[in-house]
Amino acid sequence: MMDPNFKRSVLLLCDYSTDEGSVGFVLNKSIDMSLNELIADFPAFDTKVNFGGPVATDTIHYIHTLGELIDDSIKVGEGIYWGGSFEKVKFLIRSEMIQPKDIRFFIGYSGWSAGQLEDELEIGSWVIHESDPNYIFKSSQDELWTQTLINKGNAYSVISQMPDNFNLN
């Protein structure tokens, strides 16, 4: 995909509906701001903030491994949860019960209207791969796109080694 918002991006799809549209977050594009710069009353917490996508960039979202420890969180995969009580997140961070390895924060999100994602998949804009908490919470963001393609195997391994601008070869 050549759109700079999504070029060489790995996304986690959190909500998928053919009738209502879909929501996801870019996993491998961090921004150069801390949570404390974005939210005045947020407790000190040393973590990167990601660009979640081009929609609603005035909002903050999070995915985590903490399940029911965060009230109202939504399970999106094995060991992967989305959202939940923001006040509870702040409390758990202040109590040192959440570590940076447990949660990822995003500015904005990636969204598709009803049928849009299916159209993009049909023309080959996206490659689908099973999510894994290790990709999301333990992998280096700089290597996530390459590693995901290598793990997918076959021709994808070759694509993962192509330079960003292969036309210059």
Residue 121, φ and ψ in degrees, nearest 5? -65, -40
* Three-state DSSP class for residue 141: helix
CB-count exposure of residue 164 (10 Å: 0-12, 13-18, 19+): exposed
Q: Domain spanning 11-168: which CATH class is it, in words?
A: alpha beta
Q: Could you give the angle at the alpha carbon of 151 between the alpha carbons of 114 and 107, nearest 5°?
A: 45
For the chain (length 169 residues), average pLDDT per consecutive 10? 86 94 96 90 92 97 96 96 97 96 97 95 90 87 87 76 62
pLDDT at 166: 57
The structural domains of the chain, with segments of one domain joined by +, span 11-168
Predicted pLDDT at 101? 94
